[in-house]
Amino acid sequence: MATSSTSSRATRALVWLAVIILGFGALIASGVFFDKAGWVPKLALDLEGGTQIILSPQIAAGTTITEEELTQAVGIIRQRVDATGVSEAEVTTQGGTNIVVSIPGTPDQATLDRIRSSAKLEFRAVLVTDATAFVDGVATDISKALAADPKADLTKLGTPSTPATWPAPSADPTNGSDLNWVTPEMYQTYLTSTCDTLDAAGANVADPTKPLVVCSDDQASKYILGPVEVDGTMVSNASANYLSGANGVLTNEWGVYLTFNSAGRQAFSDVTARLTTLTGALNQFAIVLDGKVISAPRTLAAIPDGKPVISGSFTELSARALADQLKFGALPIGFEVQSSDTVTPTLGVAQLESGLLAGAIGLLLVVVYAIFQYRALASVTIGSLGIAAVLTFVVISYLSQANGYRLSLAGVAGLIVSIGITADSFIVYFERVRDELREGRTLVSAVESGWKRAIRTILVSGAVNFLAAIVLFALAVGNVRGFAFTLGVTTVVDLLIVVLFTHPILQLLARTRFFSSGHPWSGLDGSALGAVYRGRGEFRIDPTVSKGKREKVSREASKRQSIAERKAAEHGGEL
Amino acid sequence: MSSMTRFGNRLYTGETSINFIGRRVMWYILSGTIIVLSVALTTLRGGFTFGIEFRGGSEFQVSNPASVDTAIAEKTVLDGVGVTAAPKISIVGGSSVRVQTDQLTTEQTDALRAALATAYKVPVEKVTSSFIGASWGSDITGQALRALGIFLVLVSIVMALYFRTWKMSVAAIVAVVHDLVITAAVYGALGLEVTPAAVIGLLTILGYSLYDTVVVFDKIRENTSVAYDESKRTFADSVNLAVNQTLVRSINTSIVAALPVSSILFIGSMLLGAGTLRDIALSLFVGIICGAYSTIFIAAPLYAQLREGESELTKQGRKVRTEIVRNASGAVR
């Protein structure tokens, strides 16, 4: 009765294990079927090949970056990466402060630059431009006007125009729209540079108090801009919406609505008041993001309330993108590249193959050692390790699908190391069962009582490992996390396997003739284990051992008796 | 019957008993000597040798060149772009050449990349360039150390609750710190490069070492939880018996844990050369051996020593000891 209930409990445990494995299998299959995901876990860059860029925020000492700021930064960086047309790029956060950009393959310099550049937003007055989009009136040739009268009021001239040279400044510039900012050298740079060279020259790190030669972000136009008058830290909000028409009715044109803080409101009010009085290029102000003019609208009126609307040829998408950029660009933090690491696909494959090879050899060595130590019992170890491997694989595949987990080389190392830790639970268990056999128990009861003791040890040591994994995963960054993750997964898998596979199988095997008869090859051979304890207070002593040793053993053994056993022995078997 | 099984039997009955606890001063001196020697060697070498992840710098990798002769790279770097410090050149993955230099400017990077491509006769796309900020490695380590501290506090609480005595926590933590110090010192003394992967290995040791200690302590708890008044053994003897009884397990476990790690170490060093696998495996390998040693030779004796200071147990110990002496002289028989 008891026997059959134990067997059925064991069988039930095995069924549960099968259900768990098949359940994960089904989840993966549905992922493959519905989401076109893969059967196998996705690989991290060090195995797949690709470039990983880690950006860390530049923050003042003593301050921290908030979760929200980080999420916004991830948003803008993702936008930038996507805009470069790179597919399957991943932008994630790391350790609550860093941003990790993972790009398959080897990205070109432009892509890298785009990601690396910070989100610096500046408003500068336009001095000279070759952009025609916003210029009203007829283009006048500045060089002709200058030739006729070097002191001609250039602000009254329209642009674009491309004089061959620029006169030296006649006086110190008085405001941001003063053409005296432009030097002949700067003008030459403006004329001769292409947008590529301007970008490379690092317009993004330009001095905000100096004028700047810069390109539009579509590389279609070049600008000479005055010094920064309003910057991104002054934008408190930006949103995209339809523009309202003259009578307050919304038109179907898109615009970007900005809100400045009080400092920005004042500064912007001053600038716009000045710009409305000017004409031509000088009427425009440029919105510069990361050293590129993203928009250079005309100033139609002074804006005192700090809530300007930028109109232009926006679509819903481009308006929202600009609003996002302005909002995100207004972040008080820039990011710097902490590391940029490229792994070629060839090396990735070589590392993965070596990792798998090392795993296979490690597994083989463990199996050989187990057979050497535990004979037929090793089959339980091998079976358990096999099932553990299957369960780990499905769990990791599933997490890869569901949570975007990627297996890295450090993760692979974690998996290989876990072979030893998993096998250890079996060793603890088997050694306990052997201890019970040494006490003279039958195999079936030795398995039960050995299990009761072993599971405590396995649980508490598993808890220690799991705690290590959780703390490392929560607090550490980078590869350490990948490693901690696999360590945690394999610890849980280990516990599941011991409870739902190793123990039930041993319960069932204990009932087979081969094991219960203590076959010399079973690994649970009572006589080999010197089942010394034959009954209450009686010990079978190996006749080959010396007399002195025999006495020592019996003394030791009597110490090991429980109180009840000792009392029973004293009463000479009255019980 | 394997000799290990017979050994296990003798240890279990007490027929064979290795006096781990009694000779504790010897083990303490041994560990102390190893630690002092390795720290001294590390200091003599001028501290740890840190990897590029900690120093910061530029790294180039030439994939699958016709020849993996490192002399070509050395010549290219020194001739080409005005890099004065000797570059570190190694072969990774068996078929790629890795060049590490001090941090280069963008122009120098591009120039060196092109020069390497020409020298190794591969298209320039086959040469990748990476740059690692000096703060990266220290950031990772800083976070890891913080995690380490928090983990040690948490795990001592968990162990104190489970074993119902803080003394086991103290003994286990001392053993873990012992393992971490020795493993780190092996890196320092041998002048091996400390990389983030080595740090990962080091962190795993603490999980493993504690795991090993917990298994043995669980047996000690079992052996010493019998009412002391009834026990005929001193506390130290009970601890010693527990260590002896779990010795076969400790040996088996350490071998089984060390086997896959040595496999990674071998494959990592032979096939891949310098890299993540080798670095993780090396610190783990040292750590596993240390962890097995420290559980038996440091944690258990230390625990016995901590507990022997307790008055109740001391009394009990004296009583048992006199009884044993009487037994031996045959007076009571």
A364-398 pLDDT per residue, tens:
888 888 888 887 888 888 889 889 988 998 888 88
pLDDT exceeds cutoff 50 at A352:
yes
The closest CB to that of B276, out of A46, A106, A484, belongs to A46
**B118 CA: distance to closest CA in chain A (Å):** 18
Q: How many residues does chain B have?
A: 333
A466 and A430 share one domain: yes
Q: Do A311 and A209 share a domain, yes or no?
A: yes
Q: What percent of chain A has pLDDT over 70?
A: 69
User: Over the stretch A207-230, which tens digit does the pLDDT of each residue have?
Assistant: 677 788 888 777 777 888 888 888
In angstroms, what CA-CA distances link B285 with A70, A354, B208, B265, B289?
39, 18, 11, 8, 6
Domain boundaries, chain B: 20-49+136-320, 57-132
What mean pLDDT, rounded, does chain A reach? Answer: 73
Asked if the Cβ–Cβ distance from B204 to A483 is below 8 Å, we say yes
Both A261 and A365 in one domain: the answer is no
Share of chain B above pLDDT 70, in %: 83
Query: Does A245 reside within a domain?
Result: yes
**Do residues A331 and A75 lie in contact, with contact meaning Cβ atoms separated by under 8 Å?**
no
Write out pLDDT tens, residues A479-533.
Answer: 677 778 888 898 999 999 999 999 999 888 888 877 777 666 666 665 556 554 4
Q: Rounded mean pLDDT of A19-48? A: 81
| d(C-alpha B257, C-alpha B278), whole Å | 16
The average pLDDT across A242-271 equals 80
- A522 within some domain: no
Per residue in B156-183, pLDDT tens?
998 899 888 888 999 999 999 999 889 8
Q: Which amino acid is at A287?
A: I
- Say whether pLDDT at B136 is over 50: yes
pLDDT at B201 over 60: yes
SS3 label, residue B144: helix
Structure tokens that stand for B13 in this block: 């009955």
Instruction: Say whether both A475 and A353 belong to one domain.
Output: yes
Is B105 in CB contact (< 8 Å) with chain A? no
Q: Give the domain extent around A253.
A: 119-317
Q: State whether A236 and A293 are in the same domain.
A: yes
pLDDT in tens, A161-182: 566 677 777 777 777 777 778 8
Q: Is a pLDDT exceeding 70 seen at residue B3?
A: no
Residue A330: pLDDT band with limits 50, 70, 90: very low
A542 and A468 in one domain? no
Residue A395 lies in a domain: yes
DSSP letters, A358-410, are: HHHHHHHHHHHHHHHHHGGGHHHHHHHHHHHHHHHHHHHHHHHHHH--EE-HH
A488 to chain B: closest CA residue: B207
- Phi-psi domain of A241 (left: phi exceeds 0; alpha: psi -120 through 50; beta: other): beta
Helix (H) or strand (E) holding A235: strand A235-244
- Confidence band, pLDDT 50/70/90 cuts, at residue B148: confident
Position A3 pLDDT exceeds 80: no
User: What does the longest C-alpha to C-alpha distance in chain B come to?
Assistant: 93
Per the structure, how many domains does chain A have? 4
pTM above 0.90, yes or no: no
**B200 → closest Cβ in A373, A410, A528:** A410
C-alpha–C-alpha distance, residues A430 and A503, integer Å: 10
Radius of gyration over every alpha carbon of chain A, rounded to an integer in angstroms: 38
Same domain, A540 and A427: no
Q: Which residues contact B149 (CB under 8 A, 6 or more apart)?
A: none
Interface test with chain A among B6, B153, B218, by most A beta carbons within 10 Å: B218
CB A385 within 8 A of CB A419: yes
Rounded Cα distance between A188 and A173, Å, is: 19
Question: How far is it, in rounded angstroms, from Cα B158 to Cα B217?
Answer: 14
| Domain match, A81 and A128 both | no
Q: Hey, are the CB atoms on A549 and B15 less than 8 Å from each other? A: yes
A108 domain-assigned? yes
Q: What is the pLDDT of residues A105-123, one digit of tens each?
A: 666 665 666 566 555 677 8
A470, A486, A516: which is the final residue of a domain?
A516
CA distance A525 to A514: 10
Is the CB of B255 inside 8 Å of chain A's CB atoms? yes
Q: Does one domain contain both A184 and A140? A: yes
Q: Determine the residue among B138, B206, B211 to mutate to test chain A binding: the one whose Cβ has the most chain A Cβ atoms within 10 Å.
A: B211
Q: Do A193 and A297 fall into the same domain?
A: yes
Determine the pLDDT at residue A112.
Answer: 65
Q: Which of B9, B53, B215 sits opposite A428 (nearest CB)?
A: B215
Which one is predicted more confidently, B143 or A544? B143
Interface subset of B 272-311, CB within 8 angstroms of A? 272, 275-277, 280-281, 284, 288
Whole-number pLDDT of residue A117: 58
Q: Report residue A242: phi and psi, to 5°.
A: -65, 150
Q: Give B57-132's CATH code, choosing from 3.30.365.10, 3.40.50.300, 3.30.70.3220, 1.10.10.10.
A: 3.30.70.3220
Q: What is the dihedral of CA B96, B98, B99, B102, to 10 degrees?
A: 160
Q: What's the confidence (pLDDT) of residue A134? A: 38
The answer to whether A410 contacts B92, with C-beta atoms less than 8 Å apart, is no
- A385 in Cβ contact with A423 (< 8 Å): yes
A541 and A421: one domain? no
Separation in Å, CA of A369 to nearest CA in chain B:
7
Any domain includes A99: yes
B272 with A354: Cβ contact below 8 A: yes
Band (A424; pLDDT cuts 50, 70, 90): confident
- A190 shares its domain with A216: yes
Residue A265 lies in a domain: yes
Residue B114 CB contacts under 8 Å (≥ 6 apart), including other chains: B124
* Option in A361, A423, A525 nearest B267 (CB): A361
Tell me the CA distances in angstroms from A473 to A483, A551, B157, B199, B295, one per residue in order.
8, 54, 19, 14, 26
Neighbours of A546 (CB within 10 A): 8
* pLDDT over 80 at A36, yes or no: no
Are B148 and B161 in contact, with CB atoms under 8 Å apart? Answer: no
- Band of the pLDDT at A312, cuts 50, 70, 90? low
Residue A568 scores a pLDDT above 60: no
Q: Which of A341, A528, A556 sits opposite B5 (nearest CB)?
A: A528
Task: Examine the fold and report which residue of A114, A147, A165 is the final residue of a domain before the chain moves on.
Answer: A114
pLDDT band at B294 (very low <50, low <70, confident <90, very high): very high
Q: How far is A282 from chain B (nearest CA, A)?
A: 36
A343 CB neighbours in chain B (<8 A) are 61, 128
Residue A553 in any domain: the answer is yes
What is the per-residue pLDDT for B116?
82
8 Å CB contact of A468 and B277: no
Contacts of A557 in chain B (CB under 8 A): 13-14
DSSP 3-state assignment of A227?
strand
**Is there a common fold for B20-49+136-320 and B57-132?**
no
Q: Is residue A421 part of a domain?
A: yes
How far does B205 lie from chain A, in Å, by closest CA?
10
Q: How far is A156 from chain B (nearest CA, A)?
A: 43
Q: Which of A114, A138, A168 is the last residue of a domain?
A: A114
Contacts (Cβ under 8 Å, ≥6 apart) of B110: none
CATH of the domain at A55: 3.30.70.3220
| pLDDT digits 0-9 by tens, A58-107 | 665 566 777 777 777 777 777 666 655 555 667 777 766 778 888 776 66
Q: How far is CA B177 from the centre of its chain?
A: 10
Residues near B157 by Cβ (< 8 Å), separated by ≥ 6? B169
Domain B20-49+136-320 CATH superfamily: Multidrug efflux transporter AcrB transmembrane domain (1.20.1640.10)
Asked if B327 has any chain A CB less than 8 Å from its own CB, the reply is yes
What tokens appear for A280 in the block?
Answer: 């031509």
Q: If you ran DSSP here, which 8-state letter would residue B126 be given?
A: G
